[in-house]
Amino acid sequence: MLYQQIAQNKRRTIYVMAGFTLLVALIGAALGYLFAGTATGGVIIALIITLIYISVMVGQSTDVVMNMNHATEIHSADENPELWHVVEDMAMVAQVPMPRVFIIDDPSPNAFATGNNPQHAAVAATKGLLAMMNREELEGVMAHEMSHVKNYDIRLQTIALALAAAISLLVNFASNFWWFGGGDRDRERDGGGVIAILGSVLLIILAPLAASIAQMALSRNREYLADASAVELTRNPQGMISALRKLEDVQPMKAADPNSSALYISDPFKNQKHRSFSHLFDTHPPLEDRIVRLEKM
């Protein structure tokens, strides 16, 4: 069941990333048609902008994300022996290099991993997590984060964030340019192009919403995979299950940055026991669903 779940999640990830890329191309085509009369040119420009965003984000992701979340790096086991040794052990089991280790001064229990590859990865845990979890549970949480590192989820989430940012940039450009008279008014008067124009405008309006839903779907998908991979690393599903149960009824974080909320093991801004009826816009799958999957393994 574990390997079937991993394979299924990887397939879904490919679909989501393909959808992201298609959305960028469609927005570029819409912009090109509206403002330059050429969809192809718009697609090329949009893809170039997106590649630039991805390059910048991938190259600087660790320091940027840690600063955004007010994390402080520790450099040896002397500063926090238990966290350091657990991270060291889980990295060894996962067969990835020892990541940089950070602590966030926040009483709410949570953790995340970031970086552009296993050689330049980092993990962070809140003081609340370190106070709440026993050794077995902390191993489960860190195994979860090492799974994100090993599976290159950290790079995937960074690319997804860059894609979403690029889409927002393109949409903002379209809005500003249009209101200042940048649209092709001749095509607007051409009855044959009215439908294409309306379709392009509608696509530009709905694109940010579609990008957000795709980013959230990607995050939820990778959390299931990391849970399963963590159990594979520790050979102890109860440690992971117990840790997730402790995360169900906690207060939201104060130090977390909204733009990086999808990186955390649990939604840093929502109490898991008091969720809305719709999970469409959640960055994480319900903890109860994650627990049920682990109990079936």
Domains of the chain by residue range: 1-67+156-181+191-218, 71-154+220-295
Select from 92, 112, 93, 110 the least CA-distant residue to 101: 112
For the stretch 98-132, pLDDT in tens is: 999 999 999 999 999 998 888 999 999 999 999 99
Q: Is 223 annotated as a binding residue?
A: yes
pLDDT at 32: 81
Fold (topology level) of 71-154+220-295: Zincin-like (3.30.2010)
Which of 240 and 17 is assigned the larger pLDDT?
Answer: 240
The whole-number pLDDT of residue 6 equals 58
- Residue carrying structure tokens 């290159």: 152
CA neighbor of 109 nearest in space, from 84, 131, 83: 131
Rounded to an integer, the average pLDDT of 214-231 is 81
Query: In this model, does residue 297 exceed pLDDT 80?
Result: no
Q: How far apart are CA 140 and CA 146, in angstroms?
A: 10
User: Of 145, 188, 248, 295, which residue is the catalytic one?
Assistant: 145
Residue 189 predicted with pLDDT over 50 = no
Q: Are 247 and 132 in contact (CB under 8 A)?
A: no
Longest dimension (CA), the chain: 73
**51 contacts: CB under 8 Å, gap ≥ 6:** none
Which two three-digit tokens encode residue 196?
């294409």
- The whole model's pTM is what? 0.76
Strands 121-126 and 100-104: parallel
Compute CA distances 40 → 27, 29, 139, whole Å: 11, 6, 50
At 290, the pLDDT band (50, 70, 90 cuts) reads: very high
279 known ligand binder: no
pLDDT at 259: 75
Quick check: is 145 catalytic?
A: yes
Q: Which of 40-44, 210-214, 240-244, 285-289 has the highest mean pLDDT?
A: 240-244
The pLDDT of residue 264: 92
Measured in whole angstroms, the distance separating CA 103 from the mean position of its chain's CA atoms is 20
Q: Is the pLDDT of residue 185 over 50?
A: no
